[in-house]
Each structure stands twice: as C-alpha cells, then as structure tokens.
Amino acid sequence: MTADYVIVGAGSAGCALAYRLTEAGHSVALIEYGGSDIGIFIQMPGALSYPMNMPRYDWGFFSQPEPHLGGRRLATPRGKVLGGSSSINGMVFVRGHRKDYDHWRDSGAAGWGYADVLPYFKRMETWHGGASEWRGTAGPLHVTRGKRRNPLFNAFIEAGQQAGWPYTPDYNGENQEGFGPMEATIWKGRRWSAANAYLRPAQKTGRLRVIQAFARRILFQGRRAYGVEIERKGRVEEIRAGREIIVSASSINTPKLLMLSGIGPADHLRQHGIAPLTDRPGVGANLQDHLEIYMQYKALKPITLYTYYNLLGKGRVGVEWLLQKTGLGASNQFESCGFIRSSDAADYPDIQYHFLPLAVRYDGKAAAQGHGFQAHVGPMRSKSRGTVRLASGDPAAPPEIRFNYMSHPDDWAEFRACVRLTRQIFDQSAFTEYRGAEIQPGASVQTDDQIDAFIRDHAESAYHPCGTARMGAATDPMAVVDPDLKVIGVEGLRVADSSVFPRITNGNLNGPSIMVGEKAADHILGRIARPDQDRMAAE
C-alpha cells in the first residue's frame, strides 16, 4: 500500500504526528509491532507496575553489563503496544526546564529554544489546574493532579519548604524549582496515553491505517527514502510513502532501524554486512538516561498503601476502579514532587523527586514488609554518555545497549548530594509524626565510599533513554537530524521521538516526546508556530 506519510512507531511522538497529519488532510500509514492497549493493566493508573514488566507490552531490553554499577544489566523497558511507552509508563507529566530547550537551541537545534517549543506544549494539552498563560486548555492530552488525600503527600511538600526550598504551584508553568503537586496524564480515572489522546481521534478521520508489523529497514532509491520493509505474519512486504517517512520508534529502536538501513557509523555497519548509505557516526551515540535511587523509610502510622498491598486489598481497589473509575486505582500515586539544585554551582534544578506513600520497587517488589514511604531521587543532567549498537545484521536481533552509567566523576558527587539532601528533607518536622527508621540506604551509610557503594548496587534506570539520533546543525558531524528533523545525508526521511534530544530534559520524557511529534508535524506541513516571547521574562 501507499500513503502520503509512513510513520514507524505508534508511541508518544508517532501518535501525535499521525493525528496532526491526518487532521491536515493527509493519508498516513502507522506501523506498530505491538498490539492493542485495551486492558486493565494499561488503562488503570494504579496498575502501572504491571505493563512495563509484561512481555506482551514491553520489548524486554536490558543494558549490557554496566562497568560502573558492578556489572549489573539494567532493565530498559520500551513500549511494544499502541501508545508505545506512554501506555506502560508512570504517567508523570513534566515539560522540562526552559533552559533545557535553550541549550538545545544553542547547541545547534535552531528553532527549538523554549520560546519555540512552548506553543506546542500549550497546544498539546488540556490542563485542569485553572487559568494560566503558561498552560493549554484545548489540546488532546489531558493533564491532571492527584487529590493528595494521603497526608504524606502534603507532608513531603511542606518538608521541602521547611528545608529551605520554595513552593511551586505549577512546575510546568512559570517556575519549575521547588516542591509542589505532581501532574499526570490521567483523565477520568484512566491512563491518558498517546493512544487515547491522539491515535483514536486520528483513526476517526478515516485517513489513518494502523499496520501491525515489524519494521525491518527503510528502503531507498538512490538517497531518497521511498518505503519501509516490514514483516507481518511471516511475509516480507513494502509500505510506500508518497511524500515522506518518519521514524518514531524510540531512542533504542530508531537508531537500530537507521543502522539496518545503512545510516550510521560506516565501519560498524560494514562489520555487520551492511553497506553504508551515509556515514553518520552520531547514530546510536549520545545515549543518555536518568538514574535514580529509592530513599525509603518505615512509617510510624498505618496510613500508607501497604494496607492494600495484598490480594484482598488489590482486589478491592480493582473492583472500585472497574465500576466507577475512582479510588486508589485512578491515581499513579505520584502526587507530590520536587525539583532542586544539588549545589549553588547549579544554575537551575538538577535533582528531581517523585514521592510515593509506599516502600516498593518499580517491579512491584516491596523492599521491606510493613508500612513505609519513599522518594525516588536522582540527578537530571548526567555527563555520562552511552551507545546503541547493532548486535547483528539480523533485524530480529535486539540491539546492544550500553548506557555507561556513572562514568563521569561529577555523577557521583551529584548522587551523594541526592542522598544527603533527601535526608535533610525527611528530617524536617513535617515528617516527625510519620517517620520511622531509614530502610535504605540505612542510617549506617554515611561516608562517601558507603554512599557510592549503595549507588553502585541499587541505582536503577528511571526509564528515560534519549539522544541517540540527536538534532543539530547540518554541518555538525555528530548530528543525525537537522532542525527540521530531516536525516542528514538522505532525502524523504525524518526522525521524531526522544532520539533527537541533544541533551536530556529535566524530568520525565513523555511530555517532551509528544511535543516533538507535535512540532514535527508543523515542520512537515510548513506552518511553524510563532515563538511565545511573552513568557520569557520570568525565572
């Protein structure tokens, strides 16, 4: 079949892109290997620990042994389902800091400063937090706040202020820095993924065809991309694009697909029997992520989610959600947060907090029996860089992922600050009536060496990989796409997903990834929004 545009990947950016292109009257073929996102484990926010651990919904990637983390292989979940990772993530919505995008602009991504991207953040959302010149009110993506009925949520916000940081009423608005309520892509008790927000409206236009298939490579005539080779039901087929192909397959699968198609480091491609079409050493380079640790405490009062952390309790939560879309199942339980600086040397926040009224891991395993609470904490702008490389010329083979976590000495200093600053916050009087013994790292972990050992053994990915096809000036030898998201060195091919981030943003990446899809559509359609210069005076 032929469509005006062929998009590879029905994830955060791909769904947004498909919606805007069909809205403009174009036909779109959207290739997605994963299946339906309809099911309680995806749609119920409180069940978030399940889909990212289910092979049905997750690609199941792991990093190569990480030399600075004791040789551990870290899980790297990526959504293999309609909605992509927005269907299996924690639903936290963070735009990032304005200086993140000004850094993009200043590093060669002209037209991607904060004034340039703010109109797209506003266009994409319907914010339910009241009137604000910083927020959108008519977009497909509903952004809401939890009710913070558990007193621990507000205790965390109050403790942050007692420790000397400001209160921020809207970290996605004028000022990110400080402690305040956390926002989520949840609407009427359901996960409001990119599939719910964008894909289903796009399907209603009649101009979108979703093709469940495995993308093997991009097809070229000379240097112009004309189609995608797919495999479905054991057959190899071609899907042709009348205008362009856009790869939105994730920061892991996008560089893999580019390399399988002859775009990447020439010597590496030749090693796997692939003839280089264009030598782009930046493909698969510049891999970044957020690491985090869980600072956990026992609770003196039986008010945490541990009350429901049993078969009967989970059943009660599930039944209420199924019947009414209310209760604990209607929240991701990340309802308060913080963004602070690790030291006076940081010119804007470089530490993020997610607070949770339960001591538990992302895989659903409790760290300690009994009532407890925790803060997920980690540095935002690690200087460590990794790679995604082909393990084989076989498209079915998973790629080799090397994050090279903690390879820069500054990362260790920032993580030590995370531990010590978090202790200061939980030592405040707001937590006096709730705070029991420190579960982990534990009160005995005090020296730099002891903290480093804990980090080495317990740091986990926050699941924010990005940067592997970074945007930059067309003359930059390490850039993969130009500021129009066109792949440098070929024609008719763009990339639109978190791969293009020059540097990781402050916070969770779902919001910025959707923004890239929104803005990519306007680059393709030739209708770039006017920069919002009026909002630039603050902070």
Torsion from C-alpha of 342, 343, 347, 348, nearest 10 degrees: 30
| Helix locations, 24-110, DSSP H | 40-43, 98-106
* Residues 371-400 as b or e (16 or more Cβ within 10 Å = b): bbbbbbbbbbbbebebbbbbeeeebeebbb
Is the Cβ–Cβ distance between 34 and 80 less than 8 Å? Answer: yes
CA distance 14 to 513: 9
Using CA of residue 464, residue 467, residue 468, residue 469, what is the dihedral sign?
positive
Catalytic residue among 354, 408, 464, 523: 464
> Residues 196, 199, 205, 210: is their CA dihedral positive or negative?
negative
- The annotation status of 92 as a binding-site residue, yes or no, is yes
3-state helix, strand, coil in the chain (%, to 5): 30, 25, 45
Q: What is the chain's length?
A: 539
Residue 464 designated active-site = yes
Separation in Å, CA 281 to CA 49, 218, 270, 356 = 36, 18, 13, 41
Q: Binding site annotation covers 90? A: yes
Contacts of 47 (CB under 8 A, 6+ apart): 40, 41, 318, 329
Taking phi over 0 as left and psi of -120 to 50 as alpha, with beta for the rest, 25 belongs to left
Whole-angstrom distance, CA of residue 390 vs CA of residue 271: 10
Rounded to whole angstroms, the maximal C-alpha distance in the chain is 70
Q: How many CA atoms lie within 13 A of 500 on its CB side?
A: 33
Q: What is the CA radius of gyration of the chain?
A: 22
- Residue type at 357? P
Half-sphere exposure of 308 (CA within 13 A, CB side): 19
Q: How many CB atoms lie within 10 A of CB 271?
A: 12
Please choose, from the candidates 255, 207, 250, the residue with its C-alpha nearest in 3D space to the C-alpha of residue 32.
250
The separation between CA 194 and the C-alpha centre of its own chain, rounded to angstroms, equals 12
CA atoms within 13 A on the CB side of 373: 28
- Omega prior to 465 cis, within 30 of 0: no
What are the phi and psi torsion angles at 352 (to 5°)?
-120, 145
Closest CA to 292 of 391, 361, 201: 361
70 DSSP assignment: T
Catalytic residues: 464
Q: Binding site for FAD: which residues?
A: 81, 89-92
Q: Binding site: which residues?
A: 81, 89-92
